[in-house]
Structure 1
Amino acid sequence: MIRELSTLLFSVALALVLGIGSAVWASGQMALLGELEINDWRASSGIGANSPDPYVQAYYSRSGGLPLAKAEGLAFVRQTDESGDGLNARCTYVIEGDTPGARLWTLYVLRNDAPMDAPEAAIPTALHSGSILRFSDGDFDIRIAPLPQPRNWLYAGASGPFALVLSLYDTAIASDTGLSELRMPEVKKLGCTNG
């Protein structure tokens, strides 16, 4: 009798831990269903829909974010560089190229699933399309580094993992017909500091 009761209690406890754990994990991830991927930049086209799935609702409830409606735009997240390594703030990266057509775009650093706060007002942790220097062909390059850089610079902290969020506003990218190749900026690692 005691053996059956302990087996039952163990089974219930295991089911609770696995069930609650998987729900917490799933609601902490960007929604994978209906995901749009362009050059390792990922966006969920279900975000901003009139009736989003429960995982999208749970993700934004937990993160405190406010999703864009489909008519407003689309937010892409990038967590790796071109070689597939995770982004780390002790490394220097260059984001180069251009974005798909949009009236405006913003780029900001995400730390611990939240936009990074600047340690001082003069240190940029976010940029927008109207605030950057461009080349004559319209392309741009943005350096992400722990120390100030010439031209366009973003600060992602002194060390530790981070992600980038590129939000395209007033864009038709979610309804693109595929007749033109969509271009997203590349994220290349230039080097890392020790420590």
Structure 2
Amino acid sequence: MLRTVFLVTVVLVIALGAGAGSVWLMLEQTRSVGSVDVGAWTAFPKAGTPEADPYSRARAARLGELSLGQAEGIVFIADQDDAGAPLQRQCSYRIVGNVPPVRFFTLYAADQTRRILPAPGRFRAALHSRELLWSNDEVVEIGVGPHAEPGNWLPVSGSGQMLLILALFDTPVSTGRSVEDIPLPSIEKTGCDV
């Protein structure tokens, strides 16, 4: 009798631990159920829609996010560069490429909980599409890092991992063609402070 109670208790503890652990893992991962990868960028195109999977809904509730509706836009998150290395605050990066047709977009650096990183000094903590310098062929080039750069620069400070969050507002990408087929800028590491 005591052996049966012990075995049932062990099985329940293992089942509850494995279930809770798998849910925690799914909520902590940048790439998980319902995500779509475009280069180094990851999006959850169904977030904010009735078709959103339970993990996307739980992630948004846990982080206190208000997901954009499908007609409002789409958010892309990068936690690594194009080489697959995690993004670090003490490193400098170059974001280069085309941005899909969009009325407005923002780019900012965030911590692992997706809270915006404070900018050093009097600099802005985020960039938006109307304040950027664009090349003649509609290519945007943005420097990200702790040291000032000419042209478009997103300052970051501190050390540790970071996320880059690109929010596209009022874009046909979110309602039209497949998200996997859209052009997004590349993220290349240009150097690191030791």
In structure 2, C-alpha distance between the alignment counterparts of 1:53 and 1:188, rounded to whole Å: 32
What is the identity, as a one-letter code, of the residue corresponding to 1:154? L
Partners of 1:156 and 1:23 in 2: CA distance: 31
RMSD, aligned α-carbons: 2.1
Equivalent residue number for residue 171 of structure 2: 171
The alpha carbon displacement at 1:189 in A equals: 0.5
1:53 aligns to 2:74 (yes or no): no
Contact 1:111 1:163 survives alignment (8 Å): yes
Measure, in 1, the Cα distance between the counterparts of 2:54 and 2:102: 29
CA shift digits 1:12-70 (9 cap, x unpaired): 22222111222222233357444333223121111121342221110001111110001
Contact 2:92-2:191 at 8 Å conserved across structures: yes
Decide whether the 8 Å contact of 2:49 with 2:70 is kept in 1: yes
Give distance in 1, aligned partners of 2:65 and 2:177. Answer: 29
Q: 1:48 to 1:31 in 2, by over 3 A?
A: farther
Structure 2 residue 80 is the aligned partner of structure 1 residue 76 = no
Amino acid aligned to 1:183: P
Matched letter for residue 22 of structure 2: S
- C-alpha contact (below 8 Å) 2:104/2:169 kept by paired residues: yes
Q: How do 1:1-195 and structure 2 match up within 5 A? A: 1-30=1-30, 32-119=32-119, 122-177=122-177, 182-194=182-194
Query: Is this contact kept in 2: 1:30–1:44, CA < 8 A?
Result: no
Deviation of 1:187 (Å): 0.5
Distance 1:59 1:11, change over 3 A: same
Q: TM-score, normalised by structure 2?
A: 0.88
Checking the alignment, whether the CA contact within 8 Å between 1:29 and 1:59 is kept in structure 2 is: no
Please tell me the residue identity of whatever aligns with 2:137. D
8 Å CA contact 1:32, 1:44 repeated in 2:
no
Distance 2:10 2:162 in 1: 38
Provide the secondary structure at the position in 1 that maps to 2:65.
coil
Contact kept, 8 Å, 2:79 with 2:86, in 1: the verdict is yes
Residues 172/13 of structure 1: CA separation in 2 closer, same or farther (3 Å cut): same
**Which secondary structure does the structure 1 equivalent of 2:171 belong to?**
coil
**Structure 1 SS opposite 2:131:** coil
What is the CA-CA distance between 1:174 and the residue it aligns to? 3.1
TM-score calculated relative to the size of structure 1: 0.87
Q: Which 4+ runs in 1 deviate beyond 4 A? A: none
Amino acid at match of 2:123: I
Equivalent pairs counted in the alignment come to 192
